[in-house]
Amino acid sequence: MSKPRLVPDAKAELVLAALRPSEYTAALIQVLQAKSATVRGGKVLEIGSGSGVVLAALGELGAASLCGIDIEEDAVTSGMLLLAELGHGETAELYLGDMWLPVAGRRFDLIVANLPHFPMERSDVPGRLPSWSAGGSNGRVLLDPFLEGLDAHLAADGRAIITHNAFVDLDCSRELLARHGLALSMALTTLVYIPDDKLSRMTASVLAAQDGRTIHRYGPYAFGEMHIVEIARHGAVS
């Protein structure tokens, strides 16, 4: 099957290339596949849906409805095209907007996110849109408002499954969630390759503190530890 097309021109090729899935996307889908019972029949939401491929995987796993939000118009357009092409057009809704704003007052059985949360101030990673990876100096600029908003958007027995770099303070996330009656558990820890384009833009103090701990360097090559974490109300974590 060919890739979804916005319009058949060079700009569309660049947009699709910029929205291409990453190793983070792959690890998130791997966990969602392993937890298909959590997905089946549920109302799901993805914040930062990018290409729409995670929503497509959730649709294939039997989600009852698919809702996606992205700050980039091209992501919303290509995500909708992908979902329609894969037969999920009827159950999918995609919104152009910021974080929780398009779904104010709504709750979901499963919320997934692979947010920009790489610790860096600059957002000019070549080949990606500025909104793709940068999470501010500590990586938390989007992560914190996402975690803060979960309680108001999760159904009573709802869950969230998200990517969480190990070099972005996990205890800080735990404490923030605990204030809202939520707890996190680790579903998967894996290594992701950190290309030099990103490593050279990483907040220097984070790199210095994490080098040899959660960041592993072999000559010019670097890998970072990354968790897929599951979040649920206290007492309901698996």
Ligand X SMILES: C[S@@+](CC[C@H](N)C(=O)[O-])C[C@H]1O[C@@H](n2cnc3c(N)ncnc32)[C@H](O)[C@@H]1O
Alpha carbon 172 to its chain centroid, in Å, reads: 18
Applying CB under 6 A, among 38, 77, 114, 190 the residue interacting with ligand X is: 114
Nearest approach in angstroms of CB 26 to ligand X is: 9
Q: Does 91 bind ligand X (CB under 6 A)?
A: no
Applying CB under 6 A, among 42, 59, 116, 158 the residue interacting with ligand X is: 116
Closest CB to ligand X among residues 194, 233: 194
Nearest approach in angstroms of CB 156 to ligand X is: 25
- Cα 33 to Cα 55: distance, rounded to the nearest angstrom: 12
Number of residues that bind ligand X (CB under 6 A): 25
* Phi, psi at 16, each rounded to 5°: -65, -35
Nearest approach in angstroms of CB 18 to ligand X is: 9
- Cα 96 to Cα 48: distance, rounded to the nearest angstrom: 10
- Cα 125 to Cα 130: distance, rounded to the nearest angstrom: 7
Applying CB under 6 A, among 70, 109, 169, 230 the residue interacting with ligand X is: 70
Helix (H) or strand (E) holding 221: strand 221-233
Task: Read off the DSSP letter of residue 118.
Answer: B
Q: Does 121 bind ligand X (CB under 6 A)?
A: no
Residues of this chain, 123-182, that bind ligand X according to CB under 6 A: 131-133, 142
Q: Does 109 bind ligand X (CB under 6 A)?
A: no
Count of all residues that appear for the chain in the document? 238
